Every structure is written in C-alpha cells, then in structure tokens.
Amino acid sequence: MIRIFKNVNEIAEAIAKMLLVLIEKPGTQSIHIALSGGNTPKAIFGYLNEKYGTQLADNRFHFWWGDERCVPPGDDESNYKWASELWLKPIGIAATKIHRIEGENIPEKEAISYSEEMKNCVETEEGWPRFDLIMLGLGDDGHTASIFPNQINMLISENWCEVATHPVSGQKRITLTGNVLNNARKVVFISTGESKALMVRNIAIEAKPEYPASHIQPVNGELIWLLDKDSAQLI
C-alpha cells in the first residue's frame, strides 16, 4: 500500500493513528515497535510528542531500533538519542520499555546481546521475532535499516542482528536482519523529499533487486509506504 501526504506532519499523523490502533487492540500484553533514525523520524517524534503527548504512552509499548550507529547514546549520530529526547522521555516511557542498541559496546558482542534481549522479550513466530510495527527509512543507495547494497547477504542471515559497515565512511552499525524485518506484522517505509523520488520508484514500484529495500516484503504482514508529495512525484 502506498499513501501520499502533503508533508511530514501528515505522515506523523498517520503514524499516530497506527499507534492508537495498537493501543485499542484488546487482549495485548505487550506491543513491540522498532524505530528508525534520520531527519524525517526526528520530525515525526517531535510531532507525536507535541500533538499527542502521554496519549501515546501506553505501558504495553516496548521500543526497539531497526539499526544503530556504533556511537555512545549521547552522540548526535545516535538514533536512540533523538527518539529518546524528542519523544520517549518527554512522554514518560519507562526506561525498562526502551530497548536501545548499546552502540558504545564492541559491535560483534552487542549484536549478540541485542539478539538475546529480543529473544527474552519479543514473541517469536517461525523462529523469528514478531514485531507489531517496524518503521524503516530509505537510503539514497537503496539501503534500509543498515543493510547496504554491498552487504545484501544480511537479508538472508540466520542471525537476528548483524554488524554492518557503511560503504563510504566505514562506520560500524548494528542492524536487524532481513528475516527479522520480514516477520513483522506491519512494516512502514517513510520517505520524504524530492531527492528520494527516483529511489522510491525503483523500490516501491519496480522492486529492483539490487536494492536491499526491495526485499522487505513481510511474509505474513502488511507493507505500507508513507510518502510526501515530493518523494512520490515519479510514481
């Protein structure tokens, strides 16, 4: 499903409605959500805090990350930092419900540790964690989470997490793998800006296989694209 909006605030409103649906779902003991990083999610987190506040502070929510740069939590490059400061902490989400990737640790050890934490908290289906909602961004090179085109084997990894290396900067990152992403109940790609328009077409419409994001197709779940009008102009 592809949905097109005027601006990022309208996209944030759509995310809010998805979260409210999860809150209203009866009989759910825990709700597991994986967040993404980047400038567009920052704007979304700020909107959710300002517009909805504690209305979205349900104590069943558990927050995770689809990927994280291997930096300390206070670093401006930390995905955790911005989600926490702009949204999770201001609305009072308990620290025990915020499952950050500890980017300051040895990457290989942290990938294992984060996988173990998921195994202890998230229900599984067919041997993989079953997230209720995963938010994903789209890189200019067609990567998503931190699965890059030159490391596309992470799409079929038997591990829940892998250590990725940014192909340009060489920065280490920890990412959920393709099998984890594709086992979610709902995956939401979020993309904004004219610079993403061609890549959105390459992936959302043409599903070109050389781009990792084209391979995110939930096995038993829903895939939704939330686009602003600029990023959707070629579809």
SS3 string of the chain? Answer: CEEEECCHHHHHHHHHHHHHHHHHCCCCCCEEEEECCCHHHHHHHHHHHHHHHHHHCCCCEEEEECEEECCCCCCCCCHHHHHHHHHHCCCCCCHHHECCCCCCCCHHHHHHHHHHHHHHHCCEECCEECCCEEEECCCCCCCECCECHHHHHHHHCCCCEEEEECCCCCCEEEEECHHHHCCCCEEEEEECCHHHHHHHHHHHHCCCCCCHHHHCCCCCCEEEEEEECCCCCCC
- CATH number of the domain encompassing residue 15: 3.40.50.1360
pLDDT digits (tens, 9 = 90+) for 193-223: 999 999 999 999 999 999 999 999 999 999 9
pLDDT of 161 reads 98
Q: Report the percentage of the chain scoring pLDDT > 70.
A: 100
The answer to whether position 232 is within a domain reads no
Domain count for the chain? 1
The answer to whether position 222 is within a domain reads no
The answer to whether position 179 is within a domain reads no
**pLDDT at residue 25 above 90?**
no
pLDDT of 202 reads 98
**pLDDT at residue 134 above 80?**
yes
pLDDT digits (tens, 9 = 90+) for 104-129: 999 999 999 999 999 999 999 999 99
The answer to whether position 159 is within a domain reads yes
Tokens of 196: 């993403």
* C-beta of residue 228 within 8 angstroms of C-beta of residue 193: yes
| Domain extent for 58 | 2-173+189-214
pLDDT of 26 reads 79
* C-beta of residue 175 within 8 angstroms of C-beta of residue 210: no
